[in-house]
Amino acid sequence: MLSPSTAPLSRTFDAGLVDLDGVTYRGPEPVRHAAESLALARADGMRMAFVTNNASREPEEVAAQLTDLGIAAEPAEVATAAQAAAALLAERLPVGSTVLVVGGRGLVTAVRAAGMTVVSSADDRPDAVVQGFAPDVSWRDLAEAAYAVQRGAWHVASNRDITLPNERGLAPGNGALVAAVVLATGREPVSAGKPEPAMFLLAAQRAGSANPLVVGDRLDTDLAGARAAGFPGLQVFTGVSSARDAVLAPAAQRPSFIGADLRSLLEPHPAPARGPEGWWACGDSAARVVSGTVELAPSPAADGTVSIDAVRSACAAVWSAVDEGTTVDASRVPDLRVHEPDGDGLDR
């Protein structure tokens, strides 16, 4: 079930472990309300750690981009999938082991910092292949990775995100590139990034946090990773996963809190309560499941928008029904376009 918070989340939790793509920016463009919301959350005493499955860039580059977008960030506050992958290599391989790196500068730096020797060809007989996203990864790079894995190299992926949100839409992510190597070799890699818990645990430790909140847009990585790490998670609807996706989320991916965008860090979060006739109520909205179909009260507005409390109610109604053994017809769950306080709607 969704968790209650009578105080703003920025005061309930001592640190936010914040995803980047789809939460603070999409490609080079900032997400609306992100900069001011994070600044106000910091003013409330919430420390920040920026956790990204993107392994292509150095922490300094990530911090510089955030700063350019008006989001204060230091390199030490950035935890990348490259660092998580390098840590995974160091757990299994001795110092000096050879690693074929397929990815960007950030991954090369992290692997070298872990004491590994970076090679560029399968003919070097590397002990491992580590694969992370970079926009200039080519067919030749993927081919070298496949040759090395076929010859026995251990395959490590920084993450397996199939898509990468940017200002133009959803581009192929590292998971799509990893899948090409998997199809060529028939061998599944180990993944270091989200939804594995290591990055969140590392970020919380760096932030000195005893009570962190994971903030993300993707159910299958951010929110699943939060649950794997044992941390509460806030899903915002500015990236990949929609409000409808939240309603239909499997138990292992359900968020503890939901919000339209990062302004929800600054708000209390009421939890839906169960009432008579199967209704779950939150604020002025309610939802229930009848014969596998979701009913909302009030119905969506003429433009298709609903309040965030309507989404909360729908989550509670569907999650409880599924957990009690009811089959919910996903095709009968409506699209939920969240109404924003300033009058806009998110097509999420």
Residues 220/162, Cβ–Cβ less than 8 Å: no
**Which of 19, 141, 245, 261 is flagged as catalytic?**
19
Candidates 42, 110, 48; CA nearest to 80 is 110
Cβ neighbours, 10 Å, residue 26: 21
List Cβ neighbours of 187 (8 Å cut-off, separation of 6 or more): 149, 155
* Residues 143, 153: Cα–Cα separation, whole Å: 13
List Cβ neighbours of 113 (8 Å cut-off, separation of 6 or more): 86
* Residues 95, 173: Cα–Cα separation, whole Å: 30
In 3-state terms, what secondary structure has residue 78? strand
Specify the DSSP element, H or E, that contains 87: helix 81-92
* Residues 79, 83: Cα–Cα separation, whole Å: 7
* Residues 207, 270: Cα–Cα separation, whole Å: 27
Is position 329 annotated as part of the catalytic site? no
Residue 332 CA to its chain's centroid (Å): 27
List Cβ neighbours of 111 (8 Å cut-off, separation of 6 or more): 82, 85, 86, 89, 99, 101, 118, 130
Candidates 279, 346, 273, 277; CA nearest to 308 is 346
Which amino acid appears at position 25 of this protein?
Answer: Y
Over its C-alpha atoms, the chain yields an Rg (Å, rounded) of: 21
How large is the angle between the packed helices 81-92 and 198-207, nearest 10 degrees?
110
Is position 21 annotated as part of the catalytic site? yes
**Which of 14, 21, 329, 344 is flagged as catalytic?**
21
Residues with a known catalytic role:
19, 21
